[in-house]
Amino acid sequence: MNAPLPPIEDLVACPHCDALHHLPSLGENERAFCARCGSLMVAPRARSFLQVLSLAFSAMILMAAAVFFPFLSISSHGFGHASSVFEVAMAFSDSWYAPLSLAVLMVIVALPALRFAGLIYTLWPLANGRPPWRHAAFVFRMVEESQPWSMAEIFVIGTAVALVKIGGLASISFGPAFWAFCCLIIVNVLKNAYMSKSAIWEAIGKG
């Protein structure tokens, strides 16, 4: 009456909705999508690694622009000032706000940059068809587990809200760094859409 169940170690959980699937082995250019929520489960390997790798490189470049270019400029009654995120953080470095500005720099700059670097470390050899580098499993696990602490998106939304509030007091214009942050968010969304975690884990071994 019941079809025999596949062995439990062959079942793969959807990364988004946890539905269990029995995945057949796929051809070079085939993809597998979750039957319940439709999210990507397995993508053609080398090409998807290359896509994610190039997005991670773009993100690193945007990140540098986002930190060091002027973020916004404020002018009021003929006086104007433009600052980058880095300058703002450094401005607080000798007051009792120092731990706060350090924490902000960590979650909006250092951590996202480290996560992209970790992803490049993990995917560079895989995209070139080579075996993974040493400790790739550890590095990729850190990339995954630090995700909730990476807050570049929240920072952009927070700044936008704050600027609407002070918009009546001074005239404000966004600098290139603000748009770099916006592009960074889009690149990050694309990266999440292209990246098949299960394919990466499979390629680097379960560690």
Q: Of these, 32, 34, 89, 120, which contacts Zn ion (CB under 5 A)?
A: 34
13 binds Zn ion (CB under 5 A): no
22 binds Zn ion (CB under 5 A): no
Amino acid present at 202: E
Choices 32-40, 94-102, 172-180, 199-207; region in contact with Zn ion by CB under 5 A: 32-40
Partners of 84 in beta bridges: 70
By beta-carbon proximity to Zn ion, the closer residue of 35 and 98 is: 35
By beta-carbon proximity to Zn ion, the closer residue of 39 and 101 is: 39
Cα–Cα distance for residue pair 110/102, rounded to 1 Å: 10
Cα–Cα distance for residue pair 15/19, rounded to 1 Å: 8
User: What sign does the CA torsion over 66, 101, 83, 94 have?
Assistant: negative
Strands 70-76, 171-174: pairing kind: antiparallel
Cα–Cα distance for residue pair 45/54, rounded to 1 Å: 14
63 binds Zn ion (CB under 5 A): no
Choices 33-41, 100-108, 140-148, 189-197; region in contact with Zn ion by CB under 5 A: 33-41
By beta-carbon proximity to Zn ion, the closer residue of 30 and 87 is: 30
Which stretches of the chain bind Zn ion, using CB under 5 A? 14, 16-17, 19, 34, 36-37
